[in-house]
Amino acid sequence: MAPLRIGIMGCASIALRKMLPAMAALPRTEIAAIASRNAGKAGEIARAYACRAVEGYSALLDLDDVEAVYIPLPNATHAGWIERALAAGKHVLAEKPLTTSVSRTRDLIAAAKSAGLVLMENVMFLHHSQHVAVRDLLADGAIGELRAFHAAFAVPARPSDDIRHRAELGGGALLDTGVYPVRAAMSFLGGEVDVVSAVLTRRHGHPVDSAGQALLCTGDGVGASATFGIDHAYRSGYELWGSEGRIVLDHAFTPPADHIPLVRLERRSGVDEIPLPPDDQVANTLTAFAAAVRSGRLPDNDDVARQAVLVDDIRTKARLYVDHATEPVG
């Protein structure tokens, strides 16, 4: 099977650090071209991967030998370029969130389905085997009946000029790190969880939310809390709390390929720490994308649409706090 020829739309950090090295290493993917608004930057990166450099994103979509595009652009620009890529007949792998709007997300999912094209949101942690192991423990009754789910993903503060601090580009903690615990709650509790309440906090004089918490709940009363932020000490994990014990997983959302996952299982009989084999969620995600394109099995993306609804509900229902005490002086 011929490798999937992918064009890279932009030279974002995640593309340079994770996606390009993985694409180059995998037999099922091939980097066809790298596009940037800066021709020099595109050329420099393209030389490292022995591929074509393209000035401008529109020019990338005009290339006949590009079968699919990867879009790591700022959140607010995803929708427009996804729409143009689909119109050009390209399959699309786009960074999360797919768009910043529920209606745009639904429209693009429908457009991809109508065109017979694969549209995939790049939520890579879903493709790591450690979550399968946790799900198996839960299904086997290791902690009895599930009572609650708690998840957190937060990262240290970026420089003040980082795009995550720009409202017009779709910045803020909710869209940057909040998507992860929300999607994890959906993964274990089902897509029909609803948002009960939420809090968003804006700090340091920034025009976007820096931190947040949301309370979600299933129809039968199993609660889930999601905590997220972009000016915190690093944390990436979740726990499932049951009638007979607890499962805890750290490094849940962005583990490196050589990380050895450790699942902590706490019960009355004691505590077991279960090591798991390392896994490469970046490679797994790209392999799944290429397989979907080559097989013609289009993802239904119902979970992507539901995630968009939950994120929008968090924003709508949240009480906003402005932390004036931490704003810089002068």
**Known active-site residue 90:** no
Q: Give the whole-angstrom CA distance, residue 275 versus residue 149.
A: 21
Q: What is the pLDDT of residue 330?
A: 30
This prediction's pTM: 0.95
- Checking DSSP bridges between strand 91-95 and strand 68-71, what pairing results, if any? parallel
Backbone angles phi, psi at 275, to 5 degrees: -75, 145
User: Is residue 248 a contact partner of residue 266, using CB atoms and an 8 Å limit?
Assistant: yes
Q: What is the pLDDT of residue 205?
A: 72
Q: What is the pLDDT of residue 324?
A: 66
Let me know the angle formed at the C-alpha of 104 by 22 and 78, rounded to the nearest 5 degrees.
35
Q: Give the whole-angstrom CA distance, residue 37 versus residue 56.
A: 5
Q: Give the whole-angstrom CA distance, residue 326 versus residue 330.
A: 12
Tally: H helices and E strands in the chain = 11, 15
DSSP 135-181: HHHHHTTTTSSEEEEEEEEE-PPPPTTSGGG-GGGT-SHIIIIIHHH
Question: Which residues, 6 or more positions from 241, have their beta carbon under 8 angstroms from its beta carbon?
Answer: 143, 146, 147, 148, 149, 150
The edge-to-edge listing of strands for the beta sheet with 68-71 is 52-55, 29-36, 4-9, 68-71, 91-95, 119-122
Q: Give the whole-angstrom CA distance, residue 87 versus residue 91.
A: 10
Q: What is the pLDDT of residue 262?
A: 98
The catalytic position among 90, 96, 113, 317 is 96
Residue 98 CA: distances (Å) to CA of 175, 257, 258: 10, 24, 28
Two tokens, residue 240? 């499932």
Q: Across-strand partners of 320?
A: 200
How many CB atoms are closer than 10 A to CB 91? 25
Query: 97 preceded by cis ω (within 30°)?
Result: yes
Q: What is the pLDDT of residue 256?
A: 97
CA 7 to chain centre: 20
pLDDT in tens, the chain (330 residues): 899 999 999 999 999 999 999 999 999 999 999 999 999 999 999 999 999 999 999 999 999 999 999 999 999 999 999 999 999 999 999 999 999 999 999 999 999 999 999 999 999 999 999 999 999 999 999 999 999 999 999 999 988 888 988 999 999 999 999 999 999 999 999 999 999 999 999 986 778 999 999 999 999 999 999 999 999 999 999 999 999 999 999 999 999 999 999 999 999 999 999 999 999 999 999 999 999 999 999 999 999 999 999 999 999 999 999 976 654 433
Backbone angles phi, psi at 111, to 5 degrees: -65, -40
